Amino acid sequence: VQPPEKPLQAEEWSKLRESFQSPEIFEEVMFNSMVRYNSPIDVAKSLLTHVAKSNGDIAYNLLLKYLALCVQQGQTSEIRDVYDIMKMRFKILESGAYNLLIKGLSNSDQWRMALTLLEEVKKFMTPSRTNYESCIKAAGRHKEMNLAFELYHEMLAKDLVPTLDILQALFDFSRGMQGAELQKELFGVLSYLRENQIYPHKTFMRSVKLWFESIPGGNWRGHLTNIKDSGQCPVCNHQLEDSDLTEEEYNNLRERIIRDVIHGTDTFRKTSPQEFEAFQTFVENRLPFDIVIDGLNVSHIKPRRMQCENLFDAVNSLAKNNARLLVLGRKHMLINSSNWKREIMKEMQKKADFFFAENISEDDAFLLYATLRSGQRCKFVTRDFLRDHKAALSDSLTRHLFRKWQRGHQVAISPSADGKRIHFTSEKLFLSLFIQQPAFSYDCVVQTTGDTWHIPYKDSFEEKYSYRVPRKWLCIQQQ
Amino acid sequence: MQSANVLLKKIVRNSVLPFAAQHGMKKDLFPLSRTLSLSLCLKQDNSGSPSGKLDLDGWKKVMKSGLQEEVGETVSEQKELSTLASAREILEMWRLAGRSVPENITEEQLKTFMACPSKSAKKKYLKYLHLKELYKKNDKRKMDEKRERRLEAQKQASETDETKRNSFLVMWASAMDKAYGWRVAQSMIFGQPLIFDMSYEKEMSVREVTNTVRQIVLSESCNRRSVDPFHVHFCNLKDDSLYQREFIKHYRETWGKLLVTVTDRCYTDIFPKDKLVYLTADSPKVMKTFDHDKIYIVGSMVDKSIKTGVSLARAKRLGLETAALPLERYLLWNSGAKNLTLDQMMHILLTLKDTGDWKKALEFVPKRKYCGFVSKPVNELKKTLNLINTLKLGNRQEEAQRQFAKNYSKKLRQK
């Protein structure tokens, strides 16, 4: 339905209503389309008046829709009126109304009223993060940064995840403001990004940069740059943090992998206790490995070739430099078949250690265990993103550790056109067959040394797969 | 006409009042005076509008008028609502706002609602209750209609006063029940055992256990009605477990008279291990034929979240043989998980037992899950195709037809 352009008389509304196919929901449909077409508020008012006069009452959902229209058009006094009427008419309001009211009022000069409404919401439920967003932005807009940060901490305490908009607003509104306390708070926001491995997008990054440069007497300068593979910043020559985990983190991660991923609710789901024990003794006797290879994953790299040939190439190219290799596979690989030739398998076993799991066991869990057991130097080769294993970890902190460790230790190889030679950076190997995505030697998170900050950012808002880390950085240094 | 109109409005307006009265306001004495004042103002508005000037804020007047005296009271009324009561209030407001919220909610449901850990869980639970309420209402409506129709039919019948003569007494239902009872009793002595493994309670949510029991009840009934029923065992069923409580909810007093074997022991204690076969979709082994000497185990589990390998792990732990239905062999799988509901499993197993015909048995797989039947296993199909091609094209074009056969089988597999 197209809403009318001008307010209508009661009779005209009645006529419209009767011509509508299902008159019972006429008002609802009409209000919906008014919100959609952003009709003038007077039209809505005239309909409300018509409804009020013919029914003596206006249903809550209609009031709600009218409120949405008012919020959409920033009609502050109307919002107040509707609020008063709702308060009078109903004992308690529900979250939808509060969302609209807070949103509407926070954008007006009556923004403090939004704060009292937020308090009202808290009485019976946890406010949503967009409620907080409205209030924080309103406070920031009126240069009440203390209040804004108070609200920000309050929502963190309630385990709400702040929207990127909130974080960005904190930087935007603090621009050019003095105060050591404020600076500390914003550094706190940056460390929130670090702890949660959040990468800001480009406009966010710009806000951060402008804030730094606006600190009175701070002499901060920001530059956009790409970090070299060696982990050195080309602007300030600073070496980024390496991706190694601390001893404690590392041990923690290893234990959690054994507990959550390998054993989980039932050891029999991924392996069996006997098999896992056999594998443990196998690994202990041969430690440490330099590279652990997921045999089956690697064998599928080039689908047109025989699987054992793929594996053979990978093992050969990695076996240089006396690296100690461990290849994980399943028992079916030992049976002579069209894909697995016994002679080639024998040849390979001279160059690397092999462990063959039962055909129904999951070899990924073994891959993780063997790599973690061999120490920080050890890398592993697979194209698998290991997302299911990450998901099996029970808390987000350990998942972050896992991601960090994975970034630093996973070597992914993918097929390249024959003959095209790719320089494999960290090990100085030439691989004729595979393009290798090297494990990062530096950690891709927000980091600081006190007088420098390095912040990785995404080029646009959407870009970035969860497994891919940004290559662009903002380098900020104090002069 | 005018006065009639006003009267009508008065009535409508009055219907709002119980709302206020409900909340403990001493309004009983006031409504008359209030509606009077309201109708007065309505009259004024009506007389004002024909002049062409629209009073856009008229609705506010209507909404505020008559409610003013309440204000003071509602404020004082807002002492401390108990959390349950305020939750009820919020639900009511959500309902008014047009969300999927049930009209009536019991204390127990309200508590479950409050215990939901997140907003989305709350929303889901409310929607579930809402739908349940809708179905119930619809069912009731249909029942009422049916009853009315029946009564009418009876009335007509009594009018015509027709009596039919028949050699049988009409008592189909109870006679059938008796016959089924005999058959199942026989199967409990001579029949092939079929085991439901009731050891998954920990793996499931309350909803999932409820669904499981419902599916088992369905399977039990279709087993009872079959020509040659299984001897159904419920193994690992602990006393006072959630499973059992749900069973009793479903069967009530019949639970004690049910012709199945219920035990808290494990199947490995009752039957020789080498005869047991655990049916699980995760099994690497595919069932070729139905073996009348084997004892099949079905895991009583509904898995709404994805917990792969739970029942396979159980079988592995006990060192039992496992098998999966040959769904891939006979059906061009379309979408959906390969795990089937328990009653579908029962139908399939019963059909296999009676006929050994996979095509007939797999009819019970939901149609949405597959595109069609492959009358023969895919690899056999490929062989036939090769043969046809060789005959058709001769040896010359061997290369071409091999390619063709390859493509065809690939397409088959991709589907």
A94 → closest Cβ in B78, B93, B314: B93
* Planar angle of CA B112, B113, B114, nearest 5 degrees: 90
- DSSP 8-state class, residue B370: E
Q: What was the pLDDT predicted at B135?
A: 96
Cα–Cα nearest to A152, from A98, A189, A107: A189
- DSSP 8-state class, residue B335: S
Tell me which amino acid residue A252 is: N
> Which two three-digit tokens encode residue A425?
């950076």
Whether A374 and A321 map to the same domain: the answer is yes
Cα–Cα nearest to B327, from B276, B372, B385: B372
| Closest CA in chain B for residue A160 | B118
In a domain, A272, yes or no: yes
Whether A269 and A183 map to the same domain: the answer is no
Look at A270 and B46 and tell me if their CB atoms are within 8 Å.
no
Check pLDDT > 60 for residue A266: yes
Whether A183 and A232 map to the same domain: the answer is yes
Check pLDDT > 60 for residue A308: yes
Look at B16 and A97 and tell me if their CB atoms are within 8 Å.
no
A48 → closest Cβ in B13, B59, B94: B59
Distance CA B99, CA B110 (A): 16
Whether A341 and A457 map to the same domain: the answer is no
B319 in contact with A, Cβ within 8 Å? no
Q: Is B276 helix (H, G, I), strand (E, B) or coil?
A: strand
Q: What was the pLDDT predicted at B373?
A: 81
Q: Is B158 helix (H, G, I), strand (E, B) or coil?
A: helix
B97 → closest Cβ in A7, A52, A61: A61
- From the CA of B391, how many Å to the nearest CA of chain A? 28
Give the phi and the psi of residue A234 in degrees, each rounded to 5.
Answer: -70, -15
The answer to whether the peptide bond before residue A288 is cis (omega within 30 degrees of 0) is yes
Helices (H), B225-266: 242-251
Distance CA B187, CA A191 (A): 70
Whether A257 and A350 map to the same domain: the answer is yes
CB A165 within 8 A of CB A133: yes
| Closest CA in chain A for residue B83 | A124
Check pLDDT > 70 for residue A358: yes
| Closest CA in chain A for residue B93 | A94
Look at B57 and A266 and tell me if their CB atoms are within 8 Å.
no
All residues of chain A having their beta carbon less than 8 Å from the beta carbon of residue B59 are 45, 48-49, 51-53, 58
Distances (CA, A) of B137 to B91, B93, B141, B144: 19, 21, 6, 11
Q: What was the pLDDT predicted at A130?
A: 94
Distance CA A73, CA A335 (A): 73
In a domain, A124, yes or no: no
Per-window interface: B 263-302 vs A, CB < 8 A = 284
Cα–Cα nearest to A387, from B306, B58, B383: B306
CB A138 within 8 A of CB A103: no
A85 → closest Cβ in B58, B60, B310: B60
Look at B55 and A91 and tell me if their CB atoms are within 8 Å.
no
Q: How many interface pairs between A and B have CB atoms less than 8 angstroms apart?
A: 122
Per-window interface: B 10-39 vs A, CB < 8 A = 12-13, 16, 23, 38
Look at B67 and A124 and tell me if their CB atoms are within 8 Å.
no
- Which residues fall within 8 angstroms of residue A141, CB to CB, at 6 or more apart? A111, A173
- Lowest-pLDDT range, A168-177, A412-421, A458-467? A412-421
B120 in contact with A, Cβ within 8 Å? no
CB A324 within 8 A of CB A364: no
Distance CA B341, CA B355 (A): 21
Cα–Cα nearest to A88, from B22, B17, B64: B64
Mutate to test the interface with B, among A27, A67, A92 (most CBs of B within 10 A): A92
Whether A168 and A184 map to the same domain: the answer is yes
Range of the domain at A382: 247-416+430-436
A85 → closest Cβ in B55, B63, B93: B63
Q: What was the pLDDT predicted at B65?
A: 72
Whether A233 and A351 map to the same domain: the answer is no
Mutate to test the interface with B, among A28, A57, A123 (most CBs of B within 10 A): A57
Look at A89 and B317 and tell me if their CB atoms are within 8 Å.
no
- From the CA of B320, how many Å to the nearest CA of chain A? 13
Place of tokens 């406010």: A127
Check pLDDT > 60 for residue A436: no
| Closest CA in chain A for residue B41 | A53
Cα–Cα nearest to A94, from A57, A60, A65: A60
- From the CA of B99, how many Å to the nearest CA of chain A? 10
- From the CA of A59, how many Å to the nearest CA of chain B? 8
Q: Is B108 helix (H, G, I), strand (E, B) or coil?
A: helix
B65: how many CB neighbours lie within 10 A of its CB? 16
All residues of chain A having their beta carbon less than 8 Å from the beta carbon of residue B308 are 269
Q: What was the pLDDT predicted at B27?
A: 41
CB B297 within 8 A of CB B379: no
> Which two three-digit tokens encode residue B221?
């009934």
Q: Per CATH, which fold does B191-372 belong to?
A: Alpha/beta knot (3.40.1280)
Q: What was the pLDDT predicted at A438?
A: 58
How many domains does the structure of chain A reveal? 2
Whether A393 and A469 map to the same domain: the answer is no
Tell me which amino acid residue A147 is: L
Distances (CA, A) of A368 to A253, A256, A257, A384, B276: 10, 11, 8, 12, 35
Look at B59 and A58 and tell me if their CB atoms are within 8 Å.
yes
Tell me which amino acid residue B269 is: D
Look at A61 and B56 and tell me if their CB atoms are within 8 Å.
no
A42 → closest Cβ in B56, B312, B313: B56
Block means of pLDDT (10 residues each) for chain B, 415 residues, are 50 46 43 40 42 69 63 46 81 90 90 88 93 95 95 84 63 83 92 93 90 94 92 93 92 90 92 93 90 93 84 91 90 86 94 89 91 70 69 58 54 46
Look at A56 and B78 and tell me if their CB atoms are within 8 Å.
no
In a domain, A16, yes or no: no
CB A284 within 8 A of CB B328: no
Per-window interface: B 34-63 vs A, CB < 8 A = 38, 42, 45-46, 49, 54-60, 62-63
Look at B49 and A266 and tell me if their CB atoms are within 8 Å.
no
Q: In what order do the strands lie in the sheet with A353-357?
A: A353-357, A325-330, A291-294, A379-381, A410-415, A434-437
pTM: 0.74
All residues of chain A having their beta carbon less than 8 Å from the beta carbon of residue B56 are 7, 42, 45-46, 49
Whether A199 and A295 map to the same domain: the answer is no
| Closest CA in chain A for residue B91 | A94
Check pLDDT > 50 for residue A421: no
Look at A92 and B93 and tell me if their CB atoms are within 8 Å.
yes
Q: What is the 3-state secondary structure (H, E, C) of chain A?
A: CCCCCCCCCHHHHHHHHHHCCCHHHHHHHHHHHHHHHCCCHHHHHHHHHHHHHHHCCCCHHHHHHHHHHHHHHCCHHHHHHHHHHHHHHCCCCCHHHHHHHHHHHHCCCCHHHHHHHHHHHHHHCCCCHHHHHHHHHHHHHCCCHHHHHHHHHHHHHCCCCCCHHHHHHHHHHCCCCCCHHHHHHHHHHHHHHHHCCCCCCHHHHHHHHHHHHHCCCCCEEEEEEECCCCCECCCCCCECCECCCCHHHHHHHHHHHHHHHHHCCCHHHCCCHHHHHHHHHHHHHHCCCCEEEEHHHHCCCCCCCCHHHHHHHHHHHHCHHHCCEEEEEEHHHHCCCCCCCHHHHHHHHHHCEEEEECCCCCHHHHHHHHHHHHCCCCEEECCCCCHHHHHHCCCHHHHHHHHHHHHHHEEEEEECCCCCCEEECCCCEEECCEEEECCCCECCCCEECCCEEEEEECCCCCCCCCCCCCCEEEEEEEC
> Which two three-digit tokens encode residue A296?
């089956």
A377: how many CB neighbours lie within 10 A of its CB? 11
Per-window interface: B 191-220 vs A, CB < 8 A = 203
| Closest CA in chain A for residue B77 | A91
Whether A186 and A302 map to the same domain: the answer is no
A58: how many CB neighbours lie within 10 A of its CB? 21
Look at A52 and B89 and tell me if their CB atoms are within 8 Å.
no
| Closest CA in chain A for residue B58 | A49
Look at B49 and A10 and tell me if their CB atoms are within 8 Å.
yes
* Planar angle of CA B400, B401, B404, nearest 5 degrees: 95
- Which residues fall within 8 angstroms of residue A38, CB to CB, at 6 or more apart? A69, A72, A73
| Closest CA in chain B for residue A43 | B56
Give the phi and the psi of residue A337 in degrees, each rounded to 5.
Answer: -145, 180
Cα–Cα nearest to A205, from A218, A222, A183, A219: A222
Distance CA A206, CA A227 (A): 18
Whether A296 and A367 map to the same domain: the answer is yes
All residues of chain A having their beta carbon less than 8 Å from the beta carbon of residue B116 are none
Distances (CA, A) of B102 to A24, A25, B16, B91: 21, 20, 21, 8
Cα–Cα nearest to B97, from A100, A77, A105: A100
As a whole-number percent, the residues of chain A with pLDDT over 70 amount to: 93
All residues of chain A having their beta carbon less than 8 Å from the beta carbon of residue B96 are 59-61, 94
Check pLDDT > 60 for residue A437: no
- DSSP 8-state class, residue B324: B
Q: The dihedral of CA A63, A65, A71, A74: what is its sign?
A: negative
In a domain, A77, yes or no: no
Look at A81 and B63 and tell me if their CB atoms are within 8 Å.
no
Cα–Cα nearest to A327, from A298, A305, A365: A298
pLDDT in tens, A378-408: 888 888 888 888 888 888 888 888 888 888 8
Whether A396 and A323 map to the same domain: the answer is yes
Look at A57 and B89 and tell me if their CB atoms are within 8 Å.
no
CB A70 within 8 A of CB A104: yes
| Closest CA in chain A for residue B89 | A92
> Which two three-digit tokens encode residue A159?
């385990």
